[in-house]
């Protein structure tokens, strides 16, 4: 176990961005892009599913972004980013060859190992599929270790669905159920909110581990639906978002009740976070 002195000595390196060069940039939707980056020198740290990086655009600012690529890779980092402000807009417009600063990885991971031997249920809303993509990639790469693997995914419109090509491929290997809030011309799928999909999911509640990410209101109703299906709070895991600045639990900006999300999260079991999620706007 690291001593307090060792932890203090590690903080300066954790606060110094390492240079990463953008190698590919793919547009997912009208406002969302996926970027692959490689370290300029040496290798980066392996990133576990669910962890995030602090991404610094020189001269603009820094923002936390969950890693969305294959897990436990040290040779590259994949980020799926929605353009919602000055920093994320600068990240999204970064063409191959541009150098960004990355700190991390920070936070804990989706406990995918707890699902071994049982069923995996991934429930995502909107951009929330990005931090859950590593869970799906891991489950697909280790398919024999799990029973039923299912994805319940929803977005505002069909045009807002992430990873359209991959979704088609996943349908051949796992159960995929997709819904949208508002259908457009030619949409033949479901229309409605994501939590409504839980009732029809083909899972065994006593043997299912659920991983949930999306807007907090979506997660709250999804958790309620999962509890109604018989899942225990300990088997339901959510990823929380707050404004994170330091990534190492120093600044306090990401406090949620008694916990600091950058240090203690962003992944929590519902058993850990139930009291906080019951308080709206906390």
- Architecture of the domain whose range is 112-277: 3-Layer(aba) Sandwich (3.40)
pLDDT-derived band at 244, boundaries 50, 70, 90 = confident
Prediction pTM value: 0.91
Compute the distance between CA of residue 203 and CA of residue 123 in angstroms, rounded to an integer: 13
Q: What six digits make up the tokens of 234?
A: 């300990």
Which numeric CATH code is attached to 4-106? 2.40.30.10
Q: Residue 279: which H helix or E strand, with range?
A: none
Beta-carbon contacts of 193 under 8 Å, excluding residues fewer than 6 positions away, are 154, 179, 181, 218, 221
- Decide which of 276 and 102 is more confident: 102
Alpha carbon separation from 8 to 3, 5, 124, 250 (Å, rounded): 9, 5, 36, 11
φ/ψ (deg, to 5) at 17: -65, 140
What distance in Å separates the CA atoms of residue 192 and residue 155, rounded to the nearest whole number? 9
149-206 pLDDT, tens digit per residue, is: 999 999 999 999 999 999 999 999 999 999 999 998 889 999 999 999 999 998 899 9
Instruction: Write down the domain spans for the chain.
Output: 4-106, 112-277
Tokens describing residue 22: 């953008």
């Amino acid at each position: 176990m690291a001593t307090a002195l060792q932890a203090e000595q590690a903080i300066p390196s954790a606060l110094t961005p390492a240079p990463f060069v953008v190698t590919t940039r793919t547009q997912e939707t009208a406002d969302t892009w996926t970027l692959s980056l490689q370290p300029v020198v040496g290798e980066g740290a392996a990133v576990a599913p669910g962890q995030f990086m602090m991404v610094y655009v020189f001269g603009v600012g820094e923002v936390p972004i969950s890693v969305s690529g294959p897990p436990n890779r040290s040779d590259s980092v994949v980020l799926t980013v929605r353009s919602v402000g000055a920093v994320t807009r600068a990240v999204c417009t970064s063409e191959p060859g541009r150098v960004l600063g990355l700190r991390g990885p920070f936070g804990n991971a989706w406990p995918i190992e707890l699902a071994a031997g049982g069923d995996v249920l991934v429930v995502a809303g909107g951009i929330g599929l990005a931090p859950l993509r590593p869970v799906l990639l891991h489950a697909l790469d280790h398919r024999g270790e799990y029973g039923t693997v299912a994805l319940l995914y929803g977005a505002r419109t069909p045009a807002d669905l992430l990873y359209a090509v991959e979704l088609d491929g996943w349908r051949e290997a796992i159960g995929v159920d997709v819904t949208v809030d508002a259908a457009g011309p030619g949409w033949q799928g479901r229309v409605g909110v994501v939590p409504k999909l839980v009732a029809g999911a083909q899972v065994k509640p006593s043997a299912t581990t659920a991983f949930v990410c999306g807007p907090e209101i979506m997660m709250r109703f999804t958790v309620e639906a999962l509890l109604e299906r018989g899942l225990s709070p300990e088997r339901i895991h959510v990823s929380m978002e707050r404004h994170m600045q330091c990534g190492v639990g120093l600044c306090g900006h990401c406090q949620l009740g008694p916990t600091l999300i950058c240090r203690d999260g962003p992944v929590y079991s519902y058993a850990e976070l139930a009291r906080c999620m019951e308080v709206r706007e906390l």
